[in-house]
Structures are given as C-alpha cells and as structure tokens.
C-alpha cells in the first residue's frame, strides 16, 4: 500500500478469518505428511498435551510456547515450503475462509484501510493468507531458528492476549496520523479483548458471550463459513 491508509483494521486469524485452528491443522498436516504414522502419533501427543494444559487453566501464552517446542529440529525452509502447500490445499476448500469476515476486510481495503493480521500463529501459515487477502502487515509469534533449523523457542513474546495489545500500539506508533477511535478490530475469543479494546470499532465474530459481555457496544458478525 502506498501512502498513509485511511485507518488500520486489525484481525485475528483462527476462527475469525479462517474456519480452523491453523496451528493444530498444520501440525497434523506437516508431521503426518513428512513422517507418516510416526508423525501422526507425535502430532496427536502434542495436541493432547496442549488440550490438557488448557483444561487445567494454563494461559494461552504458555501453551503457545509449548506448541512451538514441537518444532525443534525442523528445517525452517522446509516448514515454510509445507506452509505454502498447506495453504494452497486448504484455501481451495470453500469453507476455508469465514466469508463474512473476508468480505468485511475486502470492504475496508476498498476504502483505503490497511489490514493487519494479528495472531499467535506463525509466518509459514500467515504469510500466504496475508498475501491472499491483501493484508499490509502480519504481526505474529515468530519461531526462533539457528542455522536454518527451528530451535523450539520463539523470538520475543507470543502475540496472544496482552501481546496483541502491544502489537496494536506498536502499529499505531508507525501511523501517528491515525486515530485509534476510527480504527477497527475483528476477533472471536476473549484473548482478543486487549486488541479489540484498543480500537474504536470492535467487531465480535461469532457469539462469544465473554467478549460480548466485555464489549457490549461491539458489532457482531456471523461466523458461518
């Protein structure tokens, strides 16, 4: 995008813009595709660990770190290549995008806004989505790599919860001409609250009672694919 956008429009990705949890879906796709039954078993074990942590009340910021430890030892370039392949296959499915959100973002872009994807997921999955929907920025969790190999750690903090609020503030710092009260945010989960509360026009995708209770004036957008 050339020049200064009319406003910034922040959007969560999983179950807000796309109809799946990208990190889980790609973990199964990659490990099974590369390693067969052994990889499928590993993916299943990781998923069970993460679900158990969530059920016991472990914050999403910590489960996000646990997820990335499963990638230790994998080639960063190979993960990116498989991410492009995953996107090509999944995006060909009619239900991949949540149509209402995608159309809303398209409308914002037509009015000169810059779309910003904000997610706890990672660039191998988000970059092709961003290119497809015309997002100007991607703010996400970044896996650490050394010598082209993923270490299992991340760079900085997960972009979840308060991490999303930090991302929003940093972007506004790059566009001091823009008024946050005129900007939009789209999210589906209570962990999106810090991001949605930072803009003047929050939009709740789906029917999260927790989000709607905290943002009673928010617009609601249907989550049907």
| pLDDT, averaged in runs of 10, over the chain (225 residues) | 84 97 97 97 96 93 94 98 98 96 97 97 98 97 97 95 91 94 96 95 94 94 75
Is 135 within a domain?
Answer: yes
Is 1 within a domain?
Answer: no
What number of other Cβ atoms are within 10 A of residue 33's Cβ? 14
Backbone phi and psi for residue 86, each to the nearest 5 degrees, phi listed first: -55, -45
Q: Which domain holds residue 22?
A: 8-221
Number of structural domains (the chain) is 1
Give the span between the Cα atoms of 75 and 23, in whole angstroms: 17
Give the span between the Cα atoms of 165 and 196, in whole angstroms: 8
Q: Please tell me what DSSP assigns to residue 129.
A: H
Greatest Cα-to-Cα distance within the chain, rounded to the nearest angstrom = 53
> For the chain, what percentages of helix, strand and coil (3-state, to nearest 5) are there?
50, 20, 30
pTM equals 0.94
CATH number at residue 175: 3.40.50.1000
Residue keyed to tokens 């010598």: 147
């Amino acid at each position: 995008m050339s020049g200064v956008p009319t406003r910034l429009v922040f959007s969560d990705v999983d179950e807000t813009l796309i109809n799946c949890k990208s990190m889980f879906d790609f973990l199964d796709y990659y490990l099974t595709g590369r390693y067969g039954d052994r990889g499928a078993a590993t993916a299943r074990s990781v998923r069970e660990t993460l679900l158990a942590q969530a059920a016991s009340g472990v914050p999403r910021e910590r489960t996000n770190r646990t997820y990335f430890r499963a990638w230790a030892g994998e080639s960063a370039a190979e993960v990116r290549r498989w991410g492009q392949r995953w996107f090509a296959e999944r995006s060909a499915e009619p239900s991949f995008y949540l149509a209402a959100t995608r159309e809303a973002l398209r409308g914002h872009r037509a009015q000169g806004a810059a779309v910003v994807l904000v997610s706890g997921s990672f660039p191998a999955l988000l970059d092709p989505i961003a290119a497809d929907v015309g997002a100007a920025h991607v703010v996400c969790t970044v896996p650490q790599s050394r010598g082209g190999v993923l270490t299992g750690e991340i760079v900085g903090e997960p972009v979840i919860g308060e991490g999303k609020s930090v991302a929003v503030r940093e972007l506004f710092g790059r566009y001091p001409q823009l008024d946050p009260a005129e900007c939009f945010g789209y999210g589906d989960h209570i962990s999106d609250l810090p991001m949605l509360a930072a803009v003047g026009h929050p939009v709740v995708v789906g029917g999260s009672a927790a989000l709607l209770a905290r943002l009673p004036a928010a617009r609601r957008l249907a989550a049907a694919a």
